[in-house]
């Protein structure tokens, strides 16, 4: 019987909300919309503390607005000191297209930082229609997105450590496909 690659057992990996020794986190937060962003920062700090992260293992860096977050996240990721970077901010739609430029540019920049540097960057930058929507997500009816992204940071750091360990232990199945035209595998 011929087995298809989809018939092979596949390892199942999942991160947990756990803190690793000597792990540091950075929070990059905008000063724009301070009541909202300050609540997001407090939520992130609460979530980190609830899962055993010491306050001295968290650096908070404030930037003028959401547009500046990816540039500073790049500097922090390049430094190699942080297991993950949590980005917090709030962009509220106005009467012009400025909202789209800032919110989309920030999100794309944060993804680029994560992919370019291999450091998890969690996007907790709210992009909302009105201030009431932001308040609902900064400790209101929809919870606190600062808490959510801090928890996600812990989980992704644990998952990355698990994947690194599995890779070192040879747990990943690697299939080499021979290229007959070039005689290389």
Q: Output Rg (C-alpha) for the chain, integer angstroms.
A: 20
Helix (H), strand (E) at residue 40:
helix 34-50
Q: Does residue 2 have an active-site annotation?
A: no
Q: For residue 121, how many other CB atoms are within 10 A of its CB?
A: 29
Q: How far apart are CA 156 and CA 140, in angstroms?
A: 26
Q: How far apart are CA 113 and CA 39, in angstroms?
A: 25
Which of 98, 101, 131, 142 is an active site residue? 98
Q: Which of 74, 77, 21, 18 is nearest to 51 (CA)?
A: 18
Q: Name the token pair of 130.
A: 């009105």
CA 15 vs CA 23, 87, 113, 158: distances in Å: 15, 20, 21, 5
Q: Report the relative pairing of strands 25-30 and 58-63 from DSSP bridges.
A: parallel
So which residues are the catalytic ones? 98
């Amino acid at each position: 019987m011929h087995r298809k690659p989809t018939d092979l057992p596949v390892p199942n990996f999942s991160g947990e909300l756990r803190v690793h020794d000597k792990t540091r986190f950075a929070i990059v937060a905008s000063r724009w919309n301070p009541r909202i962003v300050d609540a997001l920062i407090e939520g992130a700090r609460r979530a980190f503390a609830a899962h055993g992260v010491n306050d001295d293992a968290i650096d908070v860096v404030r930037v003028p607005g959401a547009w500046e977050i990816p540039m500073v996240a790049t500097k922090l990721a390049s430094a190699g000191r942080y297991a993950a970077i949590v980005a917090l901010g709030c962009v509220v739609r106005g009467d012009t297209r400025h909202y789209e430029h800032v919110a989309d540019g920030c999100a794309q920049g944060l993804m680029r930082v994560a992919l370019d540097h291999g450091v998890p960057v969690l996007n907790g930058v709210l992009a909302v229609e009105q201030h009431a929507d932001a308040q609902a997500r900064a400790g209101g009816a929809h919870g606190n997105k600062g808490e959510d992204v801090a928890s996600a940071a812990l989980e992704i750091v644990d998952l990355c450590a698990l994947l690194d360990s599995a890779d070192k232990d040879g747990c990943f199945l690697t299939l080499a496909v021979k290229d007959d035209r070039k005689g290389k595998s």
